[in-house]
Structures are given as structure tokens and as C-alpha cells.
């Protein structure tokens, strides 16, 4: 069963005055996040990440298409029993104390009263908020609000966590701690859906990532799948002159060093041409390496560059 499933999800924000100036936030988004998976949702600003999350939470309605969580339509509020959500900008009721706010949310989530107190105390400790527990939320710093927001998302030990820019207001120590909590949740088989700008963070915890731009899904796959670049490097030992000459006629980059020839094929077509050429001359490459890309490279190669100013 998919924890998150969207089918041809479309959403446009209409302008009040003109239909022409409406913004297509999502264009036919098809997404599937399996249970137990840690899924990174990437994209530049305005890509439609937050819109997707708001649709999944039923806070806004799609123009067309469907979204389901654990096989239930997102319009069913019961599905929220299995869901924890941390919004991008954590706006909390500032008339509570930190502990009071968690008690309110725990009651809404129907956390059994016998374990409620211990659960809240545990989360306050985990997120280093125990000293601020009795302080009014209005006096919390941005980072503390983010941590309190994370605590409320974990209150009922949800099966699915939807985190929108979860570390935006955290300092490096807070980010590290947050990553450790995520790793722990991942080990416990929780499904985590993270929308983030911080690629290193996504890279370190996510099993699969999706890259979204202008409401369209550009790429989706495991980090291995996405990072397997098209570029390959072949290493030849003592290649004859005729072969070297033939290689120099191709689109491949050829470098020679101490009798070792390195042939870099930047695309599949070049690689196929080189393979044929080597076969004709009966040469077997000493080794063949597929160049991997960092998530940052994948990200930038997937999205269209913005126009230069």
C-alpha cells in the first residue's frame, strides 16, 4: 500500500481579475511514496512543493486529479490520525505554553491520557525544549518554534511524517539532531516525506527523491538511479596508434598518461560508438567506470536554469 499516492493532480491559482494570469502550481502530478520510505521532494521556489503538501492535507482542493493517503482519500479526516505535519512557517497558538500547546494537540490527536504526559515530556526532552516547557509560545525563538512544531508532529507517533522545509530555522546543531531523529524514525519503519531546499540533508536521509519544477515532475527515483550519470570513463592500456587516431575522431574526450588512455564518453551514443570501435580492433578496456553525480548536480541538471538577469 502506498503511503502517498497522487494521480494527475492539477492545481491552478486563479487571479481575481483575469483567468489568463492564473498560475499553474501543479500540472498532472503523479507520485507514489511507499510505506516505510524516506522521500525527498525537491524543487526551486514556486515549484509546487508546498501546494502538493497542502493538497495532501486537504487544506486546499485540486482542480482535478486525486490524492490518497494510506489508500484513503485525503478528504477523510480520519487519515490524519496516521499523519504528522510540520509546516514551512510554524505558526502556533501563542497563548499557550509549550507544554500546554502539546497537551492541546495531544488531546485533539486522542493520545491516550495515561501516556500523554510521558510522551510530551519525552518529546520536550528530545527536542531540547524542557526548560522552555512552561514558557509562553509567544516568547519562543524561531528555532524553538520549529522544534516545538516538530514535537507536535511526533506526538501520536504517526506512520507518515510530512515535513515542509523542516530545518529552515534550525542552527547546525539543531539540523544534526533533527537528522538523527529522522534516521531513528526511518529505522522504525516510518514513512517520511521531506520537502527541502537543503540538498545535503535530503541526500543523507532519503531513499528516493523527486524533483519538481513549475508544477511538473522532472525526475523521480532512488539516489542511485538518479546519480548514475550518462557519462562513462573507459581506461585502455597500451592502445595501438590506429585506435588512438580513430578515438580522436569521435566525440569522446581522450587523454593519455604513461601509456594509459582514458576515454570519457559524455553520452550514450558516444559510448556505443566507442564500444563498436574497440570491438572492431579487438580491444577490451581495462576498466569501465560510470560517473556518479551528486544530488546537487542532479538537481541542477534536472531543472531549467532561470534566465540571467
Instruction: Give me the residues that bind other proteins (CB under 8 A), please.
Output: 54, 57-61, 77-78, 80-81, 83, 85, 87, 89, 91-93, 95-96, 104-105, 107-110, 149, 152
User: Sign of the CA dihedral 220, 224, 227, 229?
Assistant: negative
Q: Which is nearer to other proteins, 25 or 209 (CB)?
A: 25
Query: DSSP secondary-structure letter at 12?
Result: E
State how far the Cα of 244 lies from the Cα of 241, in Å rounded to an integer: 5
Q: Which is nearer to other proteins, 55 or 265 (CB)?
A: 55
In angstroms, give the least distance from the CB of 213 to other proteins: 21
Q: Which is nearer to other proteins, 22 or 272 (CB)?
A: 22
Q: Which is nearer to other proteins, 20 or 91 (CB)?
A: 91
In angstroms, give the least distance from the CB of 111 to other proteins: 11
User: Phi, psi (5° rounding) for residue 157?
Assistant: 50, 60
- Chain-centroid distance, C-alpha 31: 12
Q: Which is nearer to other proteins, 153 or 212 (CB)?
A: 153
For 170-192, b/e burial (b = at least 16 CB within 10 A) is beeebbebbbeebeebbeeebbb
In angstroms, give the least distance from the CB of 131 to other proteins: 23
State how far the Cα of 54 lies from the Cα of 283, in Å rounded to an integer: 57
**Planar angle of CA 41, 42, 47, nearest 5 degrees:** 110
Q: Which is nearer to other proteins, 87 or 166 (CB)?
A: 87
Residue 124 in grid coordinates: 520536550
Count other C-beta atoms under 10 Å from residue 281's C-beta: 12
Q: Which is nearer to other proteins, 95 or 200 (CB)?
A: 95
In angstroms, give the least distance from the CB of 273 to other proteins: 53
Q: Are strands 38-42 and 191-195 parallel, antiparallel or unpaired?
A: parallel
Counting every residue, how long is the chain?
309
**Three-class SS of residue 123?**
helix
Count other C-beta atoms under 10 Å from residue 74's C-beta: 22
In angstroms, give the least distance from the CB of 2 to other proteins: 19
In angstroms, give the least distance from the CB of 16 to other proteins: 12
With a CB cutoff of 8 Å and minimum separation 6, the contacts of 217 are 29, 30, 31, 210, 211
In angstroms, give the least distance from the CB of 76 to other proteins: 9
Count other C-beta atoms under 10 Å from residue 16's C-beta: 5
Q: Which is nearer to other proteins, 161 or 252 (CB)?
A: 161
The greatest distance separating any two alpha carbons of the chain, rounded to the nearest whole angstrom, comes to: 81
In angstroms, give the least distance from the CB of 49 to other proteins: 14
Amino acid at each position: 500500500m502506498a503511503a502517498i499516492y497522487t494521480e494527475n493532480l492539477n492545481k491552478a491559482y486563479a487571479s481575481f481579475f483575469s483567468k489568463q494570469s492564473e498560475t499553474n502550481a501543479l500540472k498532472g502530478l503523479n507520485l507514489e511514496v511507499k510505506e516505510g520510505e524516506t522521500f525527498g521532494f525537491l524543487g526551486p521556489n514556486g515549484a509546487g512543493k508546498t501546494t502538493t503538501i497542502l493538497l495532501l492535507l486537504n487544506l486546499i482542493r485540486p482542480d482535478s486529479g486525486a490524492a490518497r493517503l494510506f489508500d484513503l482519500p485525503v478528504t477523510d479526516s480520519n487519515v490524519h490520525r496516521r499523519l504528522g505535519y510540520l509546516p514551512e512557517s510554524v505558526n502556533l497558538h501563542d497563548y499557550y505554553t509549550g507544554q500546554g500547546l502539546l497537551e492541546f494537540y495531544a488531546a485533539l490527536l486522542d493520545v491516550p491520557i495515561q501516556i500523554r504526559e510521558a510522551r510530551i515530556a519525552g518529546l520536550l526532552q528530545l527536542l531540547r525544549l524542557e526548560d522552555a516547557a512552561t514558557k509562553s509560545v509567544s516568547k519562543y525563538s524561531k528555532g524553538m518554534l520549529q522544534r516545538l512544531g516538530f514535537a507536535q508532529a511526533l506526538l501520536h507517533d504517526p506512520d507518515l511524517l510530512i515535513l515542509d522545509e523542516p530545518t529552515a530555522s534550525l542552527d547546525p546543531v539543531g539540523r544534526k539532531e533533527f537528522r538523527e531523529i529522522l534516521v531513528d524514525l526511518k529505522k522504525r519503519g516510518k514513512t517520511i516525506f521531506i520537502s527541502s531546499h537543503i540538498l545535503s540533508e535530503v541526500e543523507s536521509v532519503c531513499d528516493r527523491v523527486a524533483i519538481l519544477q513549475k508544477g511538473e515532475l522532472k525526475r523521480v527515483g532512488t539516489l542511485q538511479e538518479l546519480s548514475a550519470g550518462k557519462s562513462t570513463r573507459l581506461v585502455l592500456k597500451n592502445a595501438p596508434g590506429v585506435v588512438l587516431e580513430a578515438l580522436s575522431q569521435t566525440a569522446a574526450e581522450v587523454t593519455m598518461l604513461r601509456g594509459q588512455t582514458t576515454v570519457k564518453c559524455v553520452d550514450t551514443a558516444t559510448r556505443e560508438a566507442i564500444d563498436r570501435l574497440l570491438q572492431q580492433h579487438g580491444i577490451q578496456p581495462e576498466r569501465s567506470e560510470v560517473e556518479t553525480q551528486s544530488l546537487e548536480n542532479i538537481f541542477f541538471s534536472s531543472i531549467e536554469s532561470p534566465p540571467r538577469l
